[in-house]
Structure 1
Amino acid sequence: MTSLDSVAVFDGVSDLGARSLSWTGDSITAVGEPTGEAQYSVIPGLVDTHVHLLGYAGGRSNVRGFDTFTWPLVTIREEQTLHATANAQKAMRLGVTTLRDLGADETQAAIGRVFDAGILPGPRLLASGPVGMTAGHLDLFTPRAVTDRPPTADSPDACRALVRRWARAGLTGIKTYTSGGVLSMGDKVAWRNHTRAEIAATVDEAHALGMLVACHTHSAEGIQIALDEGMDSIEHGTGMTLDQAAVLARRGIPVAPTLLINDMIARAEVPVSDEAQSIAAALVSARDELLRGAAQAGVRFVLGTDANGYFLEFGDQWRELVRMVEVLGHSPAQALRAATSDAASAVGLGTSVGTIAPGFGADFLVMKGRPWQDVSLLDPDNIVAVVCRGQVVAGALPA
């Protein structure tokens, strides 16, 4: 058994005050009374509900001229897999101990199994496979001249077949699309993606196989389709109406707003096409007021960044939390809850991670100060130690 004698504990929901914390292997065994003055604090490891691990892992300043479209085309899958593993491990060392990849295939599922088996140190990794149509948002990430393309599905039966392929490969979720997107080439946000029959077949098959369904959408029409068809989460949700916000709040459906990446594209902070910058700028111009109103209506926002290493680096999840405070009007404590217990629940892990309590997985961060009280402390520079699966993977536990 390992223990910390006296730390201020934010358990993923609220401030418990000074406590002792004990864990054995990958299980928290006790949250007890303190035995001294609390010099440091403990929070659960962060949970990012929306990432893309198959991206260049060398950082934004070192991409060597490879943009997010070109790099996958000129890099063999074996090499991409190593970058994905490095991205996941970097996120873990910077305090993000659970990730959900929302564009996954057999590769991310395999990486997750390697981490689970302890072959390599790594975060908890969930893989969700995409079900998109020909000429849809996902398909338009690959230039039209490329013939070796990611799979698409263009009928209800084809959608069911692709869901079954991802289930057979060990993936635990499905990603769907009900609008166009920002970065996809030649795309329009207002474009329909899939027919209602195709979407209904996808959701039905996924739920029959116990898989959560996340829905990419930037439009009010796309959000309505997701609500009508019973999807489990909304990704982006930029064009949300107040009526839709009321329904989302009543049903408790989580929304990952991916704020920072769209800010960066709108300002062209990284090289993007004029088309992508224009689309993002139009979305962002109305987004903040809409989403703040949704937050006031009780919509359940959770941490989801769209990080892929090229726009958002792994570790930028902390910057996203600060942006959630700024845009949504969240307190630092609300932002942390959105990134820990609530995010864990959104990806189906609410009874195993994201909370500091006996029986939960031993994923937590030792930090300076009390970041749930002060937004300026939502910064990886304040991390003293990262414990993931019961092991110290970054920093060192205080004596």
Structure 2
Amino acid sequence: MRLDGIPLWDGTEFRGPVDLTWEPDRITGVTPAATARHGDLCVLPGLVDTHVHLVGYAGPGTPPDFATWPLTTTRDEQVLHGAAHAQRAMRHGVTTLRDLAGDEAQIALRRVFDAGVLPGPRIQVHGVVGMTAGHNDLFVPPAFPIRKPTADGPDECRKLVRTWARAGMDGIKLTTSGGVLSIGDKNVWRNYTRDEIKAVVDEAHALGMLVASHAHSEDGIRVAVEEGVDSIEHGTLMSKDLAETLAARRTPVAPTLLINEAIADGRVPVTDEARAKAAELVATRDVLLAQAAALGVRFVLGTDANGHHVRFGDQLAEVVHMTRILGLDAESALRAATSDAADSIGMPVGRVTPGLGADLVVLRGRPWERIEDLATENIVAVVSRGRVVAGRLP
């Protein structure tokens, strides 16, 4: 397939009009165009969201209760909701997703999409290693007997990492602080001792898996950084010295901006407890994260989209919001959502260059100049794995 004479922003910079060719699933040619066409359109790489949760309610209207829906919905039905979320993201230009609380359901989706059984985006899946009474464990009410796996002590932590590796996980998500939506939790609560964190990181790296650390608090961020995790998720209360360390190491940080604001403002159905925790974080977050961006911290697109509090398809709005909260310019925000996000999780996408995966978004406007042009209503066509999955090519 081909597009001739279309303006290209290639994941790092504007290249002017190009003749672009691809096949499933590889970009085959990018050459300067002899004739410029499609002057009001452009083509970008498909976006990469490094932090999502595919299994959540995907139906219309107000979502059901976030805490009870997973407990009252069969796993078979949950998988179908996850597929719907993934496909919705893909149709809105987000062609790579990393699920950071996955199990066999998300692995099944990854395999089905990779095999072409169903059209779908590229997916990575990370299994959670969390302690008893930690952030991940506290999504389930105390008396409910069916619980997600937990691990306590360095040996159990190593075993759970190995169990997830056997299941086919791409990586590990580690909790080093409390969270917002977990029940009865506190953001400042310590999750894991240093020895347990060290064991998780050591074992995951030995098995070739990246470690993403959920961390809101300064202490949670600090211990994760000191023990060598590969990314920080949220990073909300990042101090100046931590920002300097993260910038020097080029450790990616997914700031998950919209979800915390929506919870804090009560724009989505949440408990009073969750709203109060989010409001406390947001009250000091903006100054700290803008400071971190100015110091050179490597922010990447990560939304925490789950269908309940952030919809799949809202990723474009998150990129725009990164310019407002973090102070990024338009091109830096686009890189954070394409080439840099792809590099941070080791995926061969995020750039429009020969040999990489053929994930493309045809868009009206010039989002590298006016970030507001990056909007779902401006999408003309989406190409995922070399095939048109939304709209029509010009």
The corresponding residue for 1:41 is 42
How far off is 1:109 after superposition? 0.8
Give distance in 1, aligned partners of 2:100 and 2:372.
29
Give distance in 1, aligned partners of 2:376 and 2:6.
18
**Superposition pairs for residues 64-213 of structure 1, below 5 Å?**
66-213=64-211
**Superposition pairs for residues 306-317 of structure 1, below 5 Å?**
306-317=304-315
The corresponding residue for 2:233 is 235
Alignment-mate amino acid for residue 105 of structure 1: D
Give distance in 2, aligned partners of 1:141 and 1:127.
19
Give distance in 2, aligned partners of 1:185 and 1:363.
38
How far off is 1:62 after superposition? 3.5
Give distance in 1, aligned partners of 2:62 and 2:177.
32
1:384 aligns with 2:383: no
Give distance in 1, aligned partners of 2:15 and 2:56.
38
Alignment-mate amino acid for residue 9 of structure 2: F
Alignment-mate amino acid for residue 361 of structure 2: L
Normalization by structure 2: what TM-score?
0.98
Give distance in 2, aligned partners of 1:42 and 1:35.
17
Aligned length: 392
How far off is 1:343 after superposition? 0.3
How far off is 1:37 after superposition? 2.2
Contact map agreement 2:218 2:239 (CA 8 A) in 1: yes
Give distance in 1, aligned partners of 2:62 and 2:389.
25
Give distance in 1, aligned partners of 2:55 and 2:123.
13
Give distance in 1, aligned partners of 2:219 and 2:311.
31
Out of 281, 284, 306, which is 1:283 matched to? 281
Contact map agreement 1:260 1:305 (CA 8 A) in 2: yes
Give distance in 1, aligned partners of 2:168 and 2:5.
41
The corresponding residue for 2:367 is 371
How far off is 1:332 after superposition? 1.6
Give distance in 1, aligned partners of 2:223 and 2:358.
38
Deviations 1:238-295 (A, max 9, x none): 0001111111011000000000000000001011111111111110011001000100
CA RMSD across the alignment: 0.8
Give distance in 2, aligned partners of 1:103 and 1:124.
16
**Which aligned runs of 4 or more in structure 1 are off by greater than 3 angstroms?**
none
Q: Which runs of 5+ in 2 are unaligned?
A: none
Q: Secondary structure at the match of 1:98?
A: strand
Give distance in 2, aligned partners of 1:83 and 1:24.
30
After TM superposition, the structure 1 stretch with the greater mean CA deviation from structure 2, 293-302 or 325-334, is: 325-334
How far off is 1:130 after superposition? 0.1
Contact map agreement 1:8 1:370 (CA 8 A) in 2: no
Q: Secondary structure at the match of 2:51?
A: strand
How far off is 1:358 after superposition? 0.5
Alignment-mate amino acid for residue 43 of structure 1: L
The corresponding residue for 1:359 is 355
Give distance in 2, aligned partners of 1:353 and 1:375.
21
The corresponding residue for 1:246 is 244
Q: Secondary structure at the match of 2:246?
A: helix
Q: Which runs of 5+ in 1 are unaligned?
A: none
Q: State the percentage of identical aligned residues.
A: 60
Normalization by structure 1: what TM-score?
0.97
